[in-house]
Homo-oligomer: A and B are copies of this chain.
């Protein structure tokens, strides 16, 4: 995805948030921040927000020696572990694809930023809200057919808490006899799931294999990924892509059948797909016309 005007302030706010979570000194934070404000300004719109975010957050991690999102990922894991029975009981109610999709989209509603927020989060309310969402773009009929025809499925995960929902979609696919490779990021980046969170979630119990993609972008830049990932990607009959980051990096891809499953959370992606903010979508890449 190219740069939209809204991506510029969004990148800067994201940088501020991440710096705030490190234990760097105030002067170091400011020096880093204003240097990167200039760097972003110089490189937009010709450089994509994904490329900028990838380098920017890597530099924050390298400079501070910390993962600013460590706490959020731990909080998400704690919340989801505590409430997994709720997801499981919803999963058991119906095995229809449409119900699974509605359940899986709930995972994208969780966006924990602090201990205080964790205390207020009510999983039953999240589920109620998510399950009642209509899909603003719904290519699930085609999705159903493509799943039936597929053998190897590549499932690209997104955030740490979210994978507890993905797990039940993966389980459903495995029970249909599919060989599912579940993919996480190659290193810590934002609140995205890595092998650590995938292991805590025991997602490997429900799929053929969990791998990391070997790269630290908050999306999937195929060229930058590991050889192992590329091999599995090449073999895959179908790609399921969760969340905005994966959509940003794969939206112009037409070499594979990709289904994007997400809530459109920012003006750039909402404008791109023609949806409203917080709309749920299941979008088939081959039906998309993008620049």
Beta-carbon contacts of A27-49 to B below 8 Å, as 1s and 0s? 00110011001101110110000
Q: Which residue of B lies closest to A30 (CB)?
A: B5
Q: Does A126 contact B (CB under 8 A)?
A: no
Which residues of chain B come closer than 8 Å to A38, judged between CB atoms?
A: 41-42
Which residues of chain B come closer than 8 Å to A40, judged between CB atoms?
A: 41
Copies of this protein chain in the complex? 2
Which residues of chain B come closer than 8 Å to A13, judged between CB atoms?
A: 6, 9
Q: Which residue of B lies closest to A46 (CB)?
A: B34
Add 19 more A-B contacts to A34-B44, A40-B41, A41-B42 (CB < 8 A). A5-B16, A5-B29, A5-B30, A5-B33, A6-B13, A6-B16, A8-B9, A8-B12, A8-B37, A9-B9, A9-B10, A9-B12, A9-B13, A12-B12, A30-B45, A37-B44, A38-B41, A38-B42, A41-B41
**Chain A interface mostly:** helix
Number of interface residues of A (CB under 8 A): 19
Residues of A within 8 A of B (CB): 5-6, 8-10, 12-13, 16, 29-30, 33-34, 37-38, 40-42, 44-45
Cα of A8 to Cα of B14 in the assembled complex, Å: 12
A45 to chain B, nearest CB (A): 6
Which residues of chain B come closer than 8 Å to A33, judged between CB atoms?
A: 5
